A and B are shown apart, each in its own frame.
Chain A
Amino acid sequence: MESLPRNKGIVLKLWICLLAGLALPCQVTAQTVLVVWHSYRGQEKVAFEKVVENFNRANALRKISVTTLAVPYDAYADKITAAIPRGKGPDVFIFAQDRLGGWIEAANTVEPLDFYLDDAVKQRFLKSTTDAMTYHGSIYGLPLNFKTLALIYNKALIKTPPKTSGELVKLAKKFTQPQAGRFGLAYWYSNWYYHAALMNAFGGRAFDPGPEPVLDNPENIKSLIYLLKWCNTDKIMPADPSTALVTTLFNTQKTPMVFNGPWFLGEIDAHIKYGVAVLPTIDEIGGKPMRPWITVEGVYIALPSRHKEESFAFATYITSVEAAKIMATIGRQLPANKAVYALPEIAGDPVLSAFRKQLDTAVPMPNFAEMTMMWSPASTAMNKIVKGAASPEEAMREAQRAVVESVRGLRKSQ
């Protein structure tokens, strides 16, 4: 029913053309409507829609227009899996890279983009964000924005943020008062994603080589032992951490420092003055920096889309400097476009430039399909370790065994 008016329009135009006596070449180029799915909300959505509006205005003559649909994050992956392979989905969709491997392996969701990509477009992105979009040597999406952990601190309580782990522990100890529920540092350290910053600092990794899981490699275990030092020896962090706990502690000024990502900024109470700094370096391993994972929101073209070239034009547009500036200033996002950080209004923004600086030491989170089967065993192991129910070696060996088993269940000769 919805498409009726449009069809009517076309029929009308055809009639007009016929009546005009076919004197002029009939120009009935139908409007190309690109459907774009995303899961933005609030200011991010405002910024995104503004970018879309600009695109529509610029492409009115080419008869391309974009309509957007926001999908709640919790249903987004299911919606993509259900709709796109059936040809019912969008032309373009925006999602983090963590599920990319699965979609590519299923071979019915994302369109490879290598063929479209020229060097000019490839060069516009920060290197590690393009890496996140690469799977088996091919690029499947244009990086739009990235997210990574950094040190977020309460300016009223911390004058200068710590640069090294030694400074961090010293500052934190001064503040910690467990009985009063005050802790010098809080982050969701029992969550593997958050722990990855330490893990990567120690040279640890999830896969090596290629998609072979190596959860129990010695570097991972060293990083866990180091985490236990913060928990048990220095005692600077609360037990049973969760996002809700970390947020509340920070908002009630019971913790001055948290490791958290840009999403956290929207949850901070209005009266708290915060600053963002790069995660500290770790003295015990010769001052190597903490290296958090990067998640990158990519712009993907749906495989069944019938307007791929127009879709790519749109993807190129929203990753341009012009669009990135809007998303950085209005949406407070961190664009993957590197030129945008040279603009004065962005370079002068302490928050954005701090996260941008953090990106230099950060590493892309693996996008293998096997990654999703790692979360559950890894978080079980993490919980056991921080609660002292198992030693890091035991717990990680157990996790590794579970992951290897799941991987074996998946990979089979045909």
Chain B
Amino acid sequence: MKDTLTGEMNHIWLHLFLISFTLLAVYPILWVFAIAFSGNQSLMIADISANPTFFDHLRTILPWPQHISWQNFSDVMTEQPFARWMLNSVIVAALTTILGVFLACTAAYSFSRFKFPAQRAGLMSFLVSQMFPGTLMLVPLYIIIVKYLHLGNTYWGLIMVYSTTAIPFCVWMLKGYFDTISVEIEESAIMDGATRTMIFFRIILPLAQPAIAVTALFSFMTGWNEFIVASLFMEEEIRYTAPVGLRFFVGGFAQQWGYFAAGSIIVSLPVVILFMFTQKYLISGLTAGGVKG
């Protein structure tokens, strides 16, 4: 056992590292905040002077607006039905998460626990499905969803597309995690007369919380920031999602970066909240399982 002093020392170094890294990582985002709060529309660019001193340089790299204003935020929320679009996004992303994670869990469980023909092929096919570049496949996708399935202008059309985008990774991730949960627990449960379904819901899912949290976050993000499919499928403005609404600010000739930055911050809030919520599952630590040899 290492003594506590070196532990503390290590932590100080870790904190130093983490603080400097976090600062670097957050730096570009500070610019987003600076633009959002500037009340203006231009992407800010360093303000340089003729014979810059060290401090001039320092001043130019500080992301701080000349004056601070909430104008951009209030405009974003009032000029368009942005709150409604946020709600749509939450609905779509949440259902995508639920559907995607659930289907991925069942499939991953099967891949992890059963042995059956075409297992490898099935698992591979999930991965393969991600490999064909999607940008060129928008029109076929549109034809399937809107023309054949008649899911244009519905949340379900989007949810289907987003969850099929998210599922492959989720299946692989969960399968990998399920593999680390030892089989003995299940075997003893079967001895006690539990059915497969019971085992799946009562034992496996609770044990896999960290992985489910990760995949849930991932599925949510898949649906959350997507804008092109959403603008393709929806036929009423009231049904747009938030990323679609955001894109109105920057398309074509006019670029209103102040609005876009403010909107981006608003749009990323739910993600941060969701992350804070999933954190406790993410680090809940696997204690009941134990690693398989």
Cα(A75)–Cα(B231), bound, Å:
6
Asked if A267 and B256 sit within 8 Å, CB to CB, the answer is yes
Of B100-108, B189-197, B208-216, B245-253, the stretch lying at the interface with chain A is: B245-253
Please measure, in the bound complex, the distance between the C-alpha atom of A248 and the C-alpha atom of B237, giving whole angstroms. 32
| Cβ contacts B117-154/A at 8 Å (1 or 0 each) | 00000000000000000000011001100110000110
Residues of B within 8 A of A251 (CB): 40, 42
In this complex, what residue of A is CB-closest to B228? A75
B interface bracket (residues with beta carbon within 8 Å of A): 35 or more
In the docked arrangement, what's the CA distance between A81 and B79, Å?
29
Q: How far is the CA of A181 from the CA of B253 in the complex (A)?
A: 25
B162 CB contacts on chain A under 8 angstroms: none
Q: Are B43 and A266 in contact (CB under 8 A)?
A: no
What does DSSP make chain A's interface, helix, strand, loop or mixed? helix
Contacts of A247 in B (CB 8 A): 41-43, 255
Residue of B nearest to A243 (CB): B255
- CB < 8 Å neighbour of A79 from B45, B232, B236: B232
B50 / chain A contacts, CB cutoff of 8 Å: 177, 179-180
Q: Which of B50, B248, B255 has the most CB of A within 10 A?
A: B248
Q: Is the CB of B232 within 8 A of A82?
A: yes
* Chain A positions within 8 Å of B80 at CB level: 41
A42 touching B79, Cβ below 8 Å: yes
Does A353 sit at the interface, judged by CB under 8 A?
no
Contact A78 B228 (CB under 8 A): yes
Establish whether residues A267 and B249, one from each chain, have CB atoms under 8 Å apart when the complex forms.
no
Q: Does B187 sit at the interface, judged by CB under 8 A?
A: no
Give the distance in Å from the alpha carbon of A180 to the alpha carbon of B48 in the complex: 6
Q: Is the CB of B228 within 8 A of A74?
A: yes
B200 within 8 A of A: no
Question: Contact partner of A69 among B147, B235, B249, CB < 8 A?
Answer: B235
**Distance, CA A81 to CA B228, complexed state (A):** 13
Contact with A along B16-44 (1 / 0, CB 8 A): 00000000000000000000000011111
* Inter-chain contact A263/B232, CB cutoff 8 Å: no
Query: Which of A76, A82, A244, A251 has the largest number of chain B CB atoms within 10 A?
Result: A82
Q: How far is the CA of A83 from the CA of B142 in the complex (A)?
A: 8
Chain A residues in 8 Å Cβ range of B248: 41, 70, 72-73
Q: What mask results when residues 246 to 277 of chain B are scored 1 for a CB within 8 Å of chain A, else 0? A: 01111111111100000000000000000000
Interface of B is mostly: loop
Residue B53 interfacial (CB < 8 Å): no
- Is residue A88 within 8 Å, beta carbon to beta carbon, of the partner chain? yes
Interface string of A227-255 (1 = CB under 8 A from B): 00000000000000001110111011000
Q: How far is the CB of A238 from chain B (nearest CB, A)?
A: 10
Contact A39 B42 (CB under 8 A): no
Question: 1/0 contact trace for A264-283 toward B, CB 8 Å?
Answer: 10110100000000000000
Please determine whether B146 and A88 come into contact, CB atoms closer than 8 angstroms: yes
For residue B244, CB closer than 8 A to chain A, the reply is: yes
A244 touches B255 (CB 8 A): yes
Q: Give the distance in Å from the alpha carbon of A70 to the alpha carbon of B139 in the complex.
A: 20
Contacts of A245 in B (CB 8 A): 45
Q: Which residue of B lies closest to A72 (CB)?
A: B247
| B51 in the interface (beta carbon within 8 A) | yes
Contacts of A75 in B (CB 8 A): 227-228, 231-232, 244, 247
Q: Is B188 an interface residue (CB 8 A)?
A: no
Indicate if the CB atoms of A82 and B142 lie closer than 8 Å: yes
Closest to A71 in B: B231
For B3, the chain A residues whose CB sits under 8 A away are none
- For window 76-121 of A, CB contacts with B under 8 Å fall at 76, 78-79, 81-83, 86, 88
Contacts of A88 in B (CB 8 A): 146-147, 152
Given contacts A39-B251, A41-B248, A248-B43, contact A86 B227 (CB under 8 A): no
Q: A72-B244, A86-B146 are in contact. List 6 more A-B contacts (CB 8 A).
A: A75-B228, A76-B251, A88-B147, A251-B40, A264-B253, A266-B254
Binding site for A on B (CB under 8 A): 40-45, 47-51, 79-80, 138-139, 142-143, 146-147, 152-153, 227-228, 231-232, 235-237, 244, 247-257
- Cβ contacts A to B, 21 pairs, < 8 Å: A39-B252, A41-B249, A42-B79, A69-B235, A70-B248, A71-B231, A72-B247, A74-B247, A75-B227, A82-B139, A83-B232, A86-B146, A88-B146, A88-B152, A180-B48, A181-B47, A244-B257, A251-B40, A261-B253, A267-B42, A269-B42
Name A residues whose Cβ lies closer than 8 Å to a Cβ of B.
Answer: 2, 35, 39, 41-42, 69-76, 78-79, 81-83, 86, 88, 147, 177, 179-181, 243-245, 247-249, 251-252, 261, 263-264, 266-267, 269
Q: Which A-B residue pairs are the 10 nearest by beta carbons? A: A73-B251, A75-B231, A72-B247, A263-B253, A180-B50, A73-B252, A263-B254, A244-B43, A82-B142, A247-B42
